[in-house]
Amino acid sequence: MCGIVGYIGKHKAYDVLVKGLHRLEYRGYDSAGIALLKDDGTLNVYKAKGKVANLEASLSGKDVEGTLGIAHTRWATHGEPNDMNAHPQVSQSRSLAIVHNGTIENYNVLKEALVQHGYTFTSETDTEVLVQLIEYVKQENRCSLFDAVREALLQVVGAYAIAVVEKDNPDTLIVARKSSPLVIGIGQDETFIASDATPIVEYTNQVIYLKDDEIAVISRKAAIQILSLENNLPSQLNIQTLRLSVEQLEKGGYDTFMQKEIFEQPSTLCDCLRGRIVDGGERVVLSGVIENKERFLHAERIIFVACGSSWHAALIGKRAMQEMCQLPVEVEYASEFRYGNPYITDKDIVIAISQSGETADTLAAIQLAKSKGAFVYGVCNVVGASIPRNTDSGTYIHVGPEIGVASTKAFTGQVTVLLMLALCAGEIRGTVRPDTIKEIASALLRMPDMLTEVLKLDPVVSELAKIFTYAHNFLYLGRGYNYPTALEGALKLKEISYIHAEGYPAAEMKHGPIALIDQEMPTVIIAPKDSLHDKIVSNIQQVKSRGGLVIAITNKGDSAIARLANYCLEIPDVPECLTPIVASVPLQLLAYYIAINKGRNVDQPRNLAKSVTVE
Ligand code: M6R
C-alpha cells in the first residue's frame, strides 16, 4: 500500500520518479505527488488526486528540474484521497518534504504535542505529523537532518518506509524503514530508492534491501551509510544482484497486465516447477523442506496463515497436507490469527503464504507464531520481501512479477508449491505412497501443457461473458478441492467487475443460499470428474430445478453434467488435487471478460492495492 520512489544523482530526477511511480502504481492509486530539489535550494512540491497520469498532466509547463527528488503514489489510510492529503507532505517552514508508506499509530498524541508547540496542520495525514516532528526536533536540537529523522522515528509507534529531503541540503537523501519495504539501488554516481525493485531495475541490478529499524544517509556521489535506528551503529552493506528484467514489468503486447498474467501461466508454472521434480518425475524435492527434515518429520500440526487469494490457496494446501502428511491442518486468516491468542507449540509448523511477501497481517501472524516457538515456513513470490526474510525457511513460487491487482498466476503458483510441499513432506514422513507421489509429480510436470489447453477456452469464455455481463449477483459452488476454487472464482469476479459474487461449498447451498436462486442469478459450478462427482451432479439438479442458470466447469465428455448445465467449459482430466489449477483459469477469464465488458480497469480496480501493508 502506497509506493515511494526517490532519486539522487547526476540526471534529472523527474524522469526517474515519474517512471518509477507508474511501476509502483499497483500499490495504490488514490493520489500521486513529487518533490524536486534544485541545486539552488528551490524545493518544488506537486500533487494531484487520482492516478500518476493526472499528476503528469498537471505538471505540463511547471518547473520539474532538480537532480534530487522523492515521489509517492497513495492508497489512502488517514484522510480522504485529495490533493491536501497526498504526499509528499511538507513541514511548516516548507524546508522538509517526506514520502511515507505505512501508518503512524501514535500520530494523535504526537500531533497534540506539536500543536502545543505552535504547529498547525493542513492535512489529515499521519505523515504530516511525522514531517513536522522532524522539523521540531531539528530546530529544538539544532542538529543535522539525519539526527532529527532518527530522533523523531524513535518517538514513533507504527510502520513506515520513508524518504526525506531538506531544502538547504541538496546533496542528501535520508531513508528509513520499519515493517514497510524499502530497496536502495546502487548506480554509477547515482542512487535510487523505492518500495520495491521495479522502478530500479532498468538503471541497476545492484540493490540493498533495508532492514527493519535501519536508517540510511545517501549522498550525491552514491555514498551510502546504513545505521541502526536504535543504537546508531553502522550496518554492513549487503549488496544483492536483482534477478528481474524490464520485460517482465511490461505488458508484452497484451491489453492489460491481468490478461498477460493469465496467459503466462503455462510458462510461470514451468518456472515454478523447475528443478523441483526429480528422478524422472518420481520425487519432489523442495530444499526448504529437505533442509528442515526433522521439523517436518516431528511436526504435530500445520497451521496456514494468509489473506485473500493466498488464503484460498491455503485451503487447497490444507486438504493436500492432511491427505499426504497425515497431520491435523488448520487454515487461519492472518488478521484473525494475530489477535486470536492462538494456542501454538514448538511442534507446530506455521506456513505463511503471500504473493507480495509484504502483507502486514501475515507478517504480524509470523511474528506471533515465532514468538510462541513455531517453525515458520514462507511461500512467497517476491524475492527478498519481508516475509521470506522473516521466516525460518520457505519456497518461492517463482512466477515472476504479478502486477495486476487480481491474483492469477500467483494463485496457480501457490497451489502448485503447496502440492509439492505436501508430497515432499509426506515422503519424509512416510505418509504418502511412492506411486501416489509419482502419479501427482508426473502430472504436475504436464500442467504447463494442460494450461495451454485450457487457455484455448479464451474465445468461448469471452462469448459467454457477453451473456452474463449484466448479472448483479453470481454464486460459485464447488466441493472438496474445488470449494476453494469456487471462493477464488467469486473473489476474482467481485474485485475486478464489482459484481457481487459468493463462493460456497456446493452442499451447503441448500442451507440458505438456495433461496437466492432464480433466473437472474447465474451459478458457476466447478464439477470435474472427481470423488465427489455424483454429489455435485445432485447439487446442479437442485439449482436447475429452481430455475437457476448453470455454468459448469467439467471434464471433456461428461455427459451427465452436459445434460444439466446451461453452459459447459471443459477442462482436461488431471488428478483430483490438481483440478483447482486447471479449473481456476476459465474462472479468471470469465471474471476478466465480464469486467472488461463493464469497462472496468482490471489492473487497478477501485479501492484496492496489490500489496496490503496496513492493517
Ligand atoms: O500478497 P498477498 O498474497 O499476501 O496478498 C493477499 C491478498 O491481499 C491478495 O490475495 C488479494 O486478495 C488479491 N487482490 C486477490 O486477487
Q: What is the SS3 assignment for 226-244?
A: EEECCCCCECCCCCEECCC
Q: Which ranges constitute the DSSP H helices of 25-101? A: 52-58
CA 28 to each of CA 65, 102, 326, 609: distance values in angstroms, whole numbers, following the listed order: 26, 12, 42, 5
Residue 83 has pLDDT above 90, yes or no: no
Element (H, E) at 369: helix 360-371
Nearest to 578 by CA among 417, 425, 367: 417
Nearest to 123 by CA among 178, 77, 188: 77
Q: Which pLDDT score, from 0 to 100, does residue 513 have?
A: 87
Q: Which pLDDT score, from 0 to 100, does residue 387 have?
A: 94
The alpha carbon of 23 and the centre of ligand 1 are apart by a number of angstroms equal to: 18
pLDDT band, very low/low/confident/very high, at 327 (cuts 50, 70, 90): very high
Q: Which atom of ligand 1 is nearest to the CA of 387?
A: 4
Atom 11 of ligand 1, residue of closest alpha carbon: 308
Place of cell 447451498: 509
Residue 343 has pLDDT above 90, yes or no: yes
Q: Which pLDDT score, from 0 to 100, does residue 336 have?
A: 96
| Pocket test residue of 310, 391, 611 for ligand 1, highest count of atoms within 8 A of CB | 310
| Pocket test residue of 26, 257, 307 for ligand 1, highest count of atoms within 8 A of CB | 307
The alpha carbon of 308 and the centre of ligand 1 are apart by a number of angstroms equal to: 5
Give pLDDT tens digits for 400-425.
999 999 999 999 999 999 999 999 99
Residue 222 has pLDDT above 80, yes or no: no
| Pocket test residue of 195, 311, 379, 407 for ligand 1, highest count of atoms within 8 A of CB | 407
Nearest to 52 by CA among 124, 4, 115: 4
Q: Which pLDDT score, from 0 to 100, does residue 26 have?
A: 86
* 249 vs 309, higher pLDDT: 309
The alpha carbon of 353 and the centre of ligand 1 are apart by a number of angstroms equal to: 10
Give pLDDT tens digits for 369-408.
999 999 999 999 998 888 999 999 999 999 999 999 999 9
- DSSP string of 581-598, one letter each residue: HHHHHHHHHHHHHHHHHT
Q: Is 610 a catalytic residue?
A: yes
Q: Which atom of ligand 1 is nearest to the CA of 406?
A: 16
The answer to whether 397 and 418 have CB atoms below 8 angstroms apart is no
Q: How far apart are CA 478 and CA 526, in angstroms?
A: 5
The alpha carbon of 613 and the centre of ligand 1 are apart by a number of angstroms equal to: 11
pLDDT band, very low/low/confident/very high, at 243 (cuts 50, 70, 90): confident
The alpha carbon of 532 and the centre of ligand 1 are apart by a number of angstroms equal to: 29
Q: Which atom of ligand 1 is nearest to the CA of 382?
A: 1
Give pLDDT tens digits for 26-74.
888 889 999 999 989 999 999 999 999 999 999 999 999 999 999 999 8
- DSSP string of 77-89, one letter each residue: SSS-SSTTTSSPE
Q: Which atom of ligand 1 is nearest to the CA of 362?
A: 4
pLDDT band, very low/low/confident/very high, at 81 (cuts 50, 70, 90): confident
Report residue 432 as a C-alpha cell.
504418502
Residues having CB within 6 Å of any atom of ligand 1:
307-310, 354-356, 359, 362, 405-407, 491, 495, 611-612
The alpha carbon of 493 and the centre of ligand 1 are apart by a number of angstroms equal to: 14
Q: Which atom of ligand 1 is nearest to the CA of 610?
A: 14
The structure's pTM equals 0.87
Q: Is 143 a catalytic residue?
A: no
Q: Which pLDDT score, from 0 to 100, does residue 356 have?
A: 94
Percent of the chain surpassing pLDDT 70: 100
The alpha carbon of 86 and the centre of ligand 1 are apart by a number of angstroms equal to: 24
pLDDT band, very low/low/confident/very high, at 609 (cuts 50, 70, 90): confident
The alpha carbon of 582 and the centre of ligand 1 are apart by a number of angstroms equal to: 20
Give bridge partners of residue 525 from the DSSP assignment.
477, 552
Q: Which atom of ligand 1 is nearest to the CA of 308?
A: 12
Q: Which pLDDT score, from 0 to 100, does residue 238 have?
A: 93
Give pLDDT tens digits for 412-463.
999 999 999 999 999 999 999 999 999 999 999 999 999 999 999 999 999 9
Nearest to 132 by CA among 171, 178, 81, 97: 97
Q: Exactly one of 2, 272, 307, 325 is catalytic; which is it?
A: 2
**C-alpha angle 122-46-161 in degrees, rounded to nearest 5:** 75
| Pocket test residue of 1, 26, 309 for ligand 1, highest count of atoms within 8 A of CB | 309
Q: Exactly one of 318, 492, 494, 610 is catalytic; which is it?
A: 610
Q: Which pLDDT score, from 0 to 100, does residue 79 have?
A: 76
The alpha carbon of 341 and the centre of ligand 1 are apart by a number of angstroms equal to: 24
Termini Cα distance of the chain: 10
Report residue 603 as a C-alpha cell.
489492473
Atom 7 of ligand 1, residue of closest alpha carbon: 308
Residue 493 has pLDDT above 80, yes or no: yes
Q: Estimate the crossing angle of helix 458-468 against helix 579-597, to 10 degrees.
A: 50
Q: How far apart are CA 102 and CA 388, in angstroms?
A: 19
pLDDT band, very low/low/confident/very high, at 600 (cuts 50, 70, 90): very high
Mean pLDDT, range 541-547, rounded to an integer: 92
Q: Which pLDDT score, from 0 to 100, does residue 280 have?
A: 86
Report residue 571 as a C-alpha cell.
477442462
Residue 467 has pLDDT above 90, yes or no: yes
Atom 4 of ligand 1, residue of closest alpha carbon: 354
pLDDT band, very low/low/confident/very high, at 140 (cuts 50, 70, 90): very high
Residue 320 has pLDDT above 80, yes or no: yes
pLDDT band, very low/low/confident/very high, at 595 (cuts 50, 70, 90): very high
| Pocket test residue of 337, 356, 387, 606 for ligand 1, highest count of atoms within 8 A of CB | 356
pLDDT band, very low/low/confident/very high, at 179 (cuts 50, 70, 90): confident
Q: Which ranges constitute the DSSP H helices of 47-122? A: 52-58, 107-116
Atom 8 of ligand 1, residue of closest alpha carbon: 308
